[in-house]
Structure 1
């Protein structure tokens, strides 16, 4: 327990301002960041600085760590008061509750958590109050051996069945959440419980050893069977699409620890420190590995001491454990420890507090209480002190978080509130001196005012996040506004280098205002892979017939960029020069884009059968062939082959995977093609099916038009009436027109 307090005190010490001379020895990057910030703000250099590279992040970590230490201390003291079982049962109850809530959301087909909150930054297939599916899976996997431990201890048959069923449900829910880390942690937790059970039962009879192991096996098989039955496809895809990027990230986190071995970068400051060397479009807030997290943020010395102490405490607890619930708790710690080697679930405060309580109850050395009353009083006093710190700082932190300050700065920037922006910027930079987003916004606001210091702000953002394209993009915007096109396009090349495709939209915006700057763009881009990719992106986003795009494509063609020839062929097709389009493309190619454009040219020149042959080849090269299938259906219809047209549209419906808009759209297409072939009856059936499948499709509009064309005014009237009721004013006018026609007296032809 005291080691956890030491870690918390070290976190607090990382916030204490120290003389510059000491910081220069221990954390020179902190001085560089602070001095750069004060220079940009025209303020005096600070004489006293904290060790942390992100003071606000460390304060947040202090509050969160304080909450965890409070939970750990409370569980520790309750275990000392012979209430270990109740603490562990509370943890088990929290896991079961989350599993039940998650499965209830799944069964109800809910799209919002409790019908209120819709996911914004997550896309979990299993909704629960824990939104991140990896964290949810790890939390449920952690609780499974603990719940199973209570089942193994229960003597009454009903209680045992209830606990074992709950364990199977939590384990299955862990798999349904679809997480590779969750699967690994669940397996490790169950194996750990089995091994601990064997160690505990060394002196018992064979029957006493085998029965619990059979129950563990049966529960594990039930959980795995149910989970795989529900989520096999999701897990299969997750494992197939998986990579080792998180292990690579953990290795880079260890590298950061090696660079700051003595004091670390500051608890909670990993993101600010890591972005300097690895800043890109993806911003890492954690190394997704608890060992890398501790060592990089606390330093190697303290972290190694904590890890060794934790391993010793676990070993002692394993040796002393007598009950199945405690063995389950220790197996749960193994499970969450395994999970957090590849996906850091305890970065979430709610999960971390539960894990803290679990650890406090599981690691307390003795149920009888071997420690003195003075020790308990001291522990209680320390825990209360920590609780006061949490209460004092916790509610204030969100006001000065990165996201809150960034939102305020963006609003002030949009409102052109210079004074408010500067006040907020000063606060943001003081609390987050290594956060590049604030220097980016500072540069954007200065550029908005035409202040030449914009470049200084943006250059500092580039130094803080060398791989981040945004500062280069903002610099290009400022340089273009001041007429320095060559420099602006040079910055856009840097954007393309860091974020492929990110610079082209701004380049197109600049060229639309100043088309005479095309030579500057071509010179700045250079004729290498990065430059040609930038030019290609610019040619894509400009209108096809734009003279600037045509000039860029001429340059790209001289360097053998194939997409330039594709655009040239499309221009020829638009101009009616079909043979010229065909000559611009290679005759032999397996590229789906080349095949598709050649097919379009052949269709325009009256050779749909040849076009269909090319499109059949193109379909096989596309993961999403919907566009090619539509064109192929049109080719068969143009060739008069109704059967193949219908078969192609059927293939198109198959790609919709049962989604109503896609299926209905395919029926609308078939109806239009049937009309072109003169099959009005088949067309009407297709349009009506489209409307039944998806009333929001264009099916009913086509029913109305075709009915009137065929003289079926009654059906046309009903169709327009339905559209009118849905709020379409034009349909109401058509309905009224047809009603007047229906009211007109009809004259019969004279009989011979």
Structure 2
């Protein structure tokens, strides 16, 4: 009989290992296919454990988790809109208006405004229930330590794999999975979010410490110690502020509680002093490893003052009010959030509210979320979980506690791989009734067997529902629909009916999302149809989406509603600063009037980005008067802006030579330039701009020696050094200081030869200066160097031109041959010149 039990335990442990480790290593099981595979595996392990073992503890936590999965699935059940309106008026409104752009109505809807997401979430919670039951069943026979070792091993494997991805500079996870959204290369790994990675490392590290300090460790202590230090180092290196704070808090709590418990057991194998020393040493070693490899990005993250996540907790409150009773549907937050997001100045979409309690309340409603919190709070209270009775139980409870604490600010528990690890840890502690100090009541446990087995038989339904309804996430549908629209817009045989059918299908899957109506507006505009019904729905679901307002501005501009278009341009840039260039281009197409252009920029500092872009475009279109007005307006709002001030200075320096506008009054113009130089000195002390301005004034006034002195002192600044050195060369050339000129040109070339293109440009400029000084041989050498650095046909032809003038026919032949080789379709002119150069070269040979 004992052999049978051991074999069953091995099977359960193997299944739990595959589920726990596999789910987190497979991109956290975020992709639907991974969620289905590991969710189904978890259900299979749970069913096996249910039918092959008698429970030694209450299955109540597992049943509670399963009930949450059932409720999530029920949220996706369609019902008549009249029923839905009585239960959730906000959800009924979303469904009833979903197809308005098509001129259609909807008769059915569900509590969830993203039914597919809720179905996927139901599989998650059923899988958590299965994992909990299986881990508690195994733990009740072999102890919590061996089951928790699975979580520790999964965390170590995740740390090693994440480091391997970083080491090879991977651009995709496992060389296969590429995220939809751009991710820094340093973040590429199975868990793409470093905050989530930090929380998983913290979970594993605390569990590892508990195992290492236990009376009889499951594996040798040195191996556990190396693993703990590795996990701590990776956690610190993640640069998660909340993660680091929770880690320190967890280590302190573990050290204090475990030390107190050890003192109560005078004959304990591990003394309180050893626990304190081991915990401190592990953290110090890990911190030393992490900090010695810390770069600028690490410190930027740690010292960041970004509080955007805290703002989510504020603006999500109206959503809580609208969906208070039954929630928006589990997993539907991402679809709904843009309807409530305030202006943030960026194109940023919050997939979660960064707080698991708020997430529960928003998606399940206050009643179910509150009930879940009360039930789990009571069942998992420290005393009931054996907290303080052993290092294993203490570490397991604290590990989950610090993860949940971090997830009040950095939500990672929504990742299936993280949830599986938590369920395994808590299930292991729950099942070890001996360590928990709870007696085994055979009668009560036996009565729970039929209920547990009946529930286990029902769990495959969740996998089937996920396979049928939960495959298409809103993120995936957005990218697929965008690709379809892009292909359709470039196709000469566009099938609008098919395109609209694709959009309609996705709107019915995600009726609360703004993106699909916006794509409908683009499709209607491309087809010459009315986009306004689509835009109206888009702005209902995403009132602060800058791109939607920009699209509306384009439509209004096409219909010559200029004032309205300018207002929408202003809103677009206010809601998304990254659209500044597109907004400026559209505004300049609408009007050339400087005052109206200013009205298209957001008020205050937020508008300077648009004003800057507008001024650059206006000046490029040779409208200096409007450019002056726009640059002046930008500086009046933010005096430390660089580009507007630089354009004002350049305009005055250019006009000062001929006393043209805006420098008809030379004295006034020079005074303005001096004021700008003072401003550059104040706001950009590392720039050479102030020195160049003062030197140009001195040079204009005939004080070349003073200009030389100013530039000698000022060109040492690190920013814009190239321009300063170039002007210094011009000044020295006018002073006929050949030695000084050669030094200045050497410094100028050195500062510009970081890349071949810039080096070629610098040598070409030196060639022009040498020609102006009547030094053609030096000019020829500079042109040849420019052509060598950036070998284009134009550069080699310039070498040939000068070589022909100087009669250096060998150089001319070489240059023309290289130009012909580069320019495959060489013109007859090049061939004729090459033949003539060859003949001339032969005639001058001795």
The one of the two structures with greater contact order (alpha-carbon pairs below 8 A, sep at least 6) is: 2
1:703-739 CA-partner distances (Å, limit 9, x unpaired)? x969x979999999999999999x88699x99x9999
The partner residue of 1:588 within 655, 670, 675 is: 675
**1:292-331 correspondence to structure 2 within 5 Å:** 292-312=358-378, 313-319=380-386, 322-331=389-398
Aligned residues of 1:480 and 1:510 also touching (Cα < 8 A): no
Structure 1 pair 687/328, CA: closer, same or farther in 2 (3 Å)?
Answer: farther
* C-alpha separation in 2, matches of 1:540 and 1:615: 33
1:236 and 2:299 aligned: yes
**C-alpha displacement of 1:7:** 1.9
**C-alpha displacement of 1:94:** 1.0
Aligned residues of 2:138 and 2:431 also touching (Cα < 8 A): no
1:576-629 CA-partner distances (Å, limit 9, x unpaired)? 856546656453134449859947965995877649948987997xxxx64x22
1:248 and 2:304 aligned: no
Structure 1 pair 262/201, CA: closer, same or farther in 2 (3 Å)?
Answer: farther
1:200 and 2:261 aligned: yes
Aligned residues of 1:176 and 1:227 also touching (Cα < 8 A): yes
Residue in structure 2 matched with residue 657 of structure 1 by the alignment: none
The partner residue of 2:280 within 217, 232, 254 is: 217
* C-alpha separation in 2, matches of 1:108 and 1:555: 48
* C-alpha separation in 2, matches of 1:690 and 1:72: 71
Aligned residues of 2:75 and 2:118 also touching (Cα < 8 A): yes
Aligned residues of 1:664 and 1:697 also touching (Cα < 8 A): no
* C-alpha separation in 1, matches of 2:418 and 2:277: 31
* C-alpha separation in 2, matches of 1:60 and 1:484: 46
**C-alpha displacement of 1:29:** 1.4
* C-alpha separation in 1, matches of 2:372 and 2:529: 50
**1:477-488 correspondence to structure 2 within 5 Å:** 477-488=554-565
The partner residue of 1:448 within 526, 532, 539 is: 526
Residue in structure 1 matched with residue 165 of structure 2 by the alignment: 105
Greater CA drift, 424-433 or 320-329: 320-329
Residue in structure 2 matched with residue 656 of structure 1 by the alignment: none
Aligned residues of 1:318 and 1:330 also touching (Cα < 8 A): yes
* C-alpha separation in 1, matches of 2:613 and 2:480: 31
Residue in structure 2 matched with residue 658 of structure 1 by the alignment: none
Residue in structure 2 matched with residue 492 of structure 1 by the alignment: 569
Structure 1 pair 239/611, CA: closer, same or farther in 2 (3 Å)?
Answer: farther
The partner residue of 2:424 within 354, 357, 381 is: 357
Aligned residues of 1:150 and 1:163 also touching (Cα < 8 A): yes
Residue in structure 1 matched with residue 211 of structure 2 by the alignment: 150
- Paired positions, count: 726
Structure 1 pair 317/689, CA: closer, same or farther in 2 (3 Å)?
Answer: farther
* C-alpha separation in 2, matches of 1:526 and 1:234: 33
1:502 and 2:579 aligned: yes
Residue in structure 1 matched with residue 736 of structure 2 by the alignment: none
Structure 1 pair 533/158, CA: closer, same or farther in 2 (3 Å)?
Answer: closer
1:492-525 CA-partner distances (Å, limit 9, x unpaired)? 232233234626525525745x76x758955964
Structure 1 gaps of 5+ residues are: 654-660
Greater CA drift, 675-684 or 86-95: 675-684
1:30 and 2:105 aligned: no
Aligned residues of 1:125 and 1:133 also touching (Cα < 8 A): no
Greater CA drift, 226-235 or 142-151: 226-235
Structure 1 pair 391/591, CA: closer, same or farther in 2 (3 Å)?
Answer: farther
Structure 1 pair 17/153, CA: closer, same or farther in 2 (3 Å)?
Answer: same
1:411 and 2:484 aligned: yes
**C-alpha displacement of 1:320:** 5.8
**C-alpha displacement of 1:160:** 0.9
* C-alpha separation in 2, matches of 1:527 and 1:212: 59
Structure 1 pair 505/254, CA: closer, same or farther in 2 (3 Å)?
Answer: closer
Structure 1 pair 114/543, CA: closer, same or farther in 2 (3 Å)?
Answer: same
**C-alpha displacement of 1:226:** 1.0
**1:646-665 correspondence to structure 2 within 5 Å:** 662=754
Residue in structure 1 matched with residue 222 of structure 2 by the alignment: 161
Residue in structure 1 matched with residue 537 of structure 2 by the alignment: 460
The partner residue of 1:426 within 504, 508, 517 is: 504
**1:357-376 correspondence to structure 2 within 5 Å:** 357-364=424-431, 366=433, 370=441, 372-376=445-449
* C-alpha separation in 2, matches of 1:25 and 1:51: 11
1:69 and 2:156 aligned: no
Provide the TM-score with structure 1 as the length reference: 0.81
The partner residue of 1:390 within 463, 467, 473 is: 463
Residue in structure 1 matched with residue 15 of structure 2 by the alignment: none
Structure 1 pair 330/220, CA: closer, same or farther in 2 (3 Å)?
Answer: same
Structure 1 pair 449/357, CA: closer, same or farther in 2 (3 Å)?
Answer: same
1:300-327 CA-partner distances (Å, limit 9, x unpaired)? 2322332233333141354366543333
The partner residue of 1:638 within 713, 730, 752 is: 730
* C-alpha separation in 2, matches of 1:212 and 1:498: 53
SS at match of 1:43: coil
Provide the TM-score with structure 2 as the length reference: 0.72
Structure 1 pair 461/743, CA: closer, same or farther in 2 (3 Å)?
Answer: same
SS at match of 2:105: coil
The partner residue of 1:345 within 405, 412, 418 is: 412
Greater CA drift, 14-23 or 517-526: 517-526
